[in-house]
């Protein structure tokens, strides 16, 4: 199939560079589909004019106008403004749509640069001349003929060039509007594949695709019109899809990346070098230490969230009765005010709920008098602790009025200190963050590792390696490794700020609502509530339901009773006999004497060798 294309383009180039007289003998063996090319049509007029008038994309019934129609794009579709645009439609919201007739939104210079940058990465150097949005029909046809005639660009690069031109966008609507699905082409909807190359893979070009390539200028025009005004490069989210697309087409093409044996060995050396180099990155250690620090910090911040339950229970105990109701309510309200002020400095959700101090007054957490006192405090280092100071001053006034004694004051102040420390520690955690250098090192190490793996995990394509290794198109285990490591990194990054707006962040607004309700309930409803103490006894064995009894009866009931690990350990009867101290001393001395009498292993071996040597000497003297 590749040789077929090379032969046809060689014929076109021959017709282009040689005279009409020399080419007439070639017209008889030429396929009629080539007549759609205006250069071929002009040199093979006798054979092509009837077929081109009926079938070609720009054909007209009048023979005299067919060449003009093929060359001038605007005459085929009078609504299509196929002119060279630069800044005229840049930034227009209607550009690139049916209403503007798919006029480009991006300047041609910028679009060509984006197209060329993509080709430099994924297309062979000999094909870079095709990497521009050429809208002139003559120039586009000459460019194709010249590129393939000189064999600078293999045909199999066309799908990749089209992908770079489309920037992963679906431009089939433009191609339909400009007639690429016309019945006169006799190829059906085949040309639409080139208008959306990612959705419709083009692993190999066939004979009918030449009719589509003959309209290269229209395909380039639609891809140019499909670019949005904000495009500067290939979107990052499509990079992986493009790499997969590119590798698939490359591997399906003839040869492995068009490399000879020496180049394959050289590329295999790069693969081995990157594979060895990836082992020097301690990614597991970096990610493990980073995530461990972040998770520990995340849990510690949750533990420092202040709850007013202990404080309000102590207040209700030390200040009972209806005559202390207003005092308990004031302390409960100031505890919620303290939380709203302090948490607004660290939580985005709380800040959006109380963006200004006036919102605290509207929420009835602060009175007008308290608002004036609070705003009148000048504190360069923050005044989030002012409500705590109000509670402390109130307790001091109650002590001076002898409404509480020193013991009660001490217990209340201890609970107040504990309540205040939670807000202080959260502010410290918000102030002192994980060093940015460490987070960047972990991120760079993770992404750099997989950039090295992009080469190091490639299959070795030299002849020696292909005999031993299995060629796998999709890197299964590398993909799993990337999912695990990237997921590990994302876990650490998301948990670094637990007071944000993500779904897994702490709901401080709910905590504030809950604390306000509980503090009010402890200050009003439950302060004097006490059930009547009767003479009713207490059950020693609590009843079960049928569901819980089935679980309990399915196993031995003694299994749930905690026991020591030496509960079932037993000693021998001789070891359990009781003996006197004198007997113990005598038995120890006998053991020592017995140990001295018994020679060691070394002594016994030396003695045995001496006996053998003396026996040998005796036998020798007897023989003599």
Q: Got the DSSP string for 110-179? A: HHHHHHHHHHHHHS-GGGGGG-S----HHHHHHHHHHHHHTT-S-GGGHHHHHHHHHTT---HHHHHHTT
Residue count (the chain)? 624
Instruction: Report the chain's mean pLDDT, rounded to a whole number.
Output: 76
* Chain center to CA of 125: 33
Instruction: Give me the pLDDT at residue 5, please.
Output: 39
Instruction: Give me the pLDDT at residue 318, please.
Output: 94
Alpha-carbon dihedral angle through residues 424, 426, 428, 430, given to the nearest 10 degrees: -150
353 CB-side CA count, 13 A? 23
User: What token pair was written down for 544?
Assistant: 């079960």
User: What token pair was written down for 505?
Assistant: 């962040």
pTM for the model stands at 0.53
Instruction: Give me the pLDDT at residue 563, please.
Output: 80
Instruction: Give me the pLDDT at residue 504, please.
Output: 83
CA dist., res. 205 & res. 347, Å (int): 59
Instruction: Give me the pLDDT at residue 465, please.
Output: 62
Q: 21 to each of 27, 63, 301, how far by Cα in Å?
A: 11, 21, 89
pLDDT single digits (tens) 552-581: 766 655 566 778 888 888 888 877 877 777
Is residue 34 a contact partner of residue 57, using CB atoms and an 8 Å limit? Answer: no
Q: Which residues contact 602 (CB under 8 A, 6 or more apart)?
A: none
Nearest partner of 141 among 36, 53, 23, judged by Cα: 36
pLDDT single digits (tens) 66-125: 333 333 333 334 334 444 433 344 445 567 777 777 788 888 888 888 888 888 877 888
pLDDT single digits (tens) 135-175: 787 788 788 777 776 667 877 778 888 888 887 788 888 88
Q: How confident is the model at residue 532 (pLDDT cuts 50, 70, 90)?
A: confident
Is residue 312 a contact partner of residue 416, using CB atoms and an 8 Å limit? Answer: no
User: What token pair was written down for 481?
Assistant: 């490794």
Instruction: Give me the pLDDT at residue 516, please.
Output: 96
Is residue 60 a contact partner of residue 66, using CB atoms and an 8 Å limit? Answer: yes
CA dist., res. 5 & res. 44, Å (int): 20
CA dist., res. 259 & res. 586, Å (int): 91
CA dist., res. 296 & res. 264, Å (int): 49
Is residue 304 a contact partner of residue 422, using CB atoms and an 8 Å limit? Answer: yes
Nearest partner of 43 among 52, 58, 73, 61, judged by Cα: 52
pLDDT single digits (tens) 321-339: 999 999 999 999 999 999 9
Q: Which residues contact 466 (CB under 8 A, 6 or more apart)?
A: 460
Residue with the bigger pLDDT between 377 and 603: it is: 377
Residue 605 scores a pLDDT above 60: yes
Instruction: Give me the pLDDT at residue 316, please.
Output: 94
Q: What does the radius of gyration of the chain's CA atoms come to, in whole angstroms?
A: 44
Mean pLDDT over 600-612 rounds to 70
């Amino acid at each position: 199939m590749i040789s077929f294309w090379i032969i046809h383009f060689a014929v076109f180039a021959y017709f282009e560079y040689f005279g009409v007289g020399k080419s007439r003998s070639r017209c008889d063996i030429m396929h009629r589909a080539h007549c759609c090319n205006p250069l071929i049509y002009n040199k093979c007029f006798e054979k092509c004019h009837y077929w081109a008038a009926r079938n070609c994309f720009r054909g007209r019934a009048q023979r005299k106008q067919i060449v003009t129609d093929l060359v001038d794009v605007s005459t085929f579709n009078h609504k299509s403004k196929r002119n060279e645009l630069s800044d005229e439609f840049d930034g227009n919201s209607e550009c690139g749509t049916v209403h503007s007739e798919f006029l480009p939104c991006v300047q041609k210079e910028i679009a060509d640069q984006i197209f060329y940058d993509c080709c430099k990465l994924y297309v062979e150097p000999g094909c870079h001349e095709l990497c521009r949005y050429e809208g002139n029909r003559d120039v586009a046809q000459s460019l194709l003929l010249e590129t393939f005639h000189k064999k600078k660009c293999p045909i199999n690069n066309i799908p990749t060039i089209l992908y770079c031109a489309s920037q992963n966008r679906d431009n089939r609507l433009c191609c339909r509007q400009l007639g690429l699905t016309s019945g006169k082409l006799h190829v059906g909807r085949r040309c639409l594949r080139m208008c959306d190359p990612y959705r419709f893979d083009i692993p190999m070009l066939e004979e009918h695709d030449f009719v589509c390539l003959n309209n290269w200028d229209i395909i380039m025009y639609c891809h140019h019109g499909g670019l949005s005004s904000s495009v500067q490069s290939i979107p990052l989210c499509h990079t992986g899809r493009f790499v997969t697309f590119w590798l698939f087409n490359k591997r399906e093409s003839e040869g492995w990346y068009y490399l000879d044996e020496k180049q394959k060995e050289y590329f295999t050396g790069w693969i081995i070098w990157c594979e060895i180099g990836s082992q020097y990155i301690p990614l597991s250690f970096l990610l493990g230490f980073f995530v461990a620090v972040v998770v520990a910090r995340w849990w510690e911040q949750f533990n420092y969230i202040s709850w007013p339950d202990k404080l309000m229970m102590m207040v209700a105990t030390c200040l009972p009765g209806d005559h202390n109701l207003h005092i308990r309510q004031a302390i409960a309200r100031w505890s919620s005010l303290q939380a709203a002020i302090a948490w607004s400095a660290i939580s985005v959700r709380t800040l959006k709920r109380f963006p200004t101090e006036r919102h605290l007054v509207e929420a009835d957490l602060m009175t007008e008098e308290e608002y004036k006192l609070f705003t009148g405090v000048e504190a360069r280092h923050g005044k989030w602790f002012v409500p705590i100071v109000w509670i402390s001053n109130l307790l001091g006034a109650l002590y001076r009025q002898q409404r509480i004694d020193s013991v009660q004051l001490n217990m209340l102040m201890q609970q107040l200190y504990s309540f205040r420390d939670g807000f202080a520690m959260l502010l410290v955690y918000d102030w002192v963050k994980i060093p940015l250098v460490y987070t960047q090192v972990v991120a760079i190490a993770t992404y750099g590792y997989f950039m090295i793996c992009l080469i190091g995990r490639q299959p070795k394509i030299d002849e020696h390696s292909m005999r031993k290794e299995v060629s796998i198109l999709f890197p299964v285990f590398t993909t799993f490794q990337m999912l695990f490591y990237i997921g590990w990194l994302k876990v650490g990054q998301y948990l670094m700020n637990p007071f944000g707006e993500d779904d897994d962040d702490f709901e401080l607004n709910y905590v504030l609502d809950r604390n306000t309700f509980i503090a009010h309930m402890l200050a009003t409803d439950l302060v004097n509530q006490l059930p009547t103490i009767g003479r009713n006894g207490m059950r020693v064995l609590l009843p079960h339901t049928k569901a819980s009894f089935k679980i309990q009866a399915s196993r031995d009931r003694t299994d749930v009773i905690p026991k020591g690990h030496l509960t079932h350990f037993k000693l021998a009867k001789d070891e359990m006999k009781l003996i006197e101290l004198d007997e113990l001393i005598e038995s120890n001395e006998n053991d020592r004497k017995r140990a001295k009498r018994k020679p060691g292993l070394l002594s016994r071996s030396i003695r045995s060798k001496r006996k053998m040597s003396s026996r040998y000497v005796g036998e020798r003297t007897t023989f003599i």
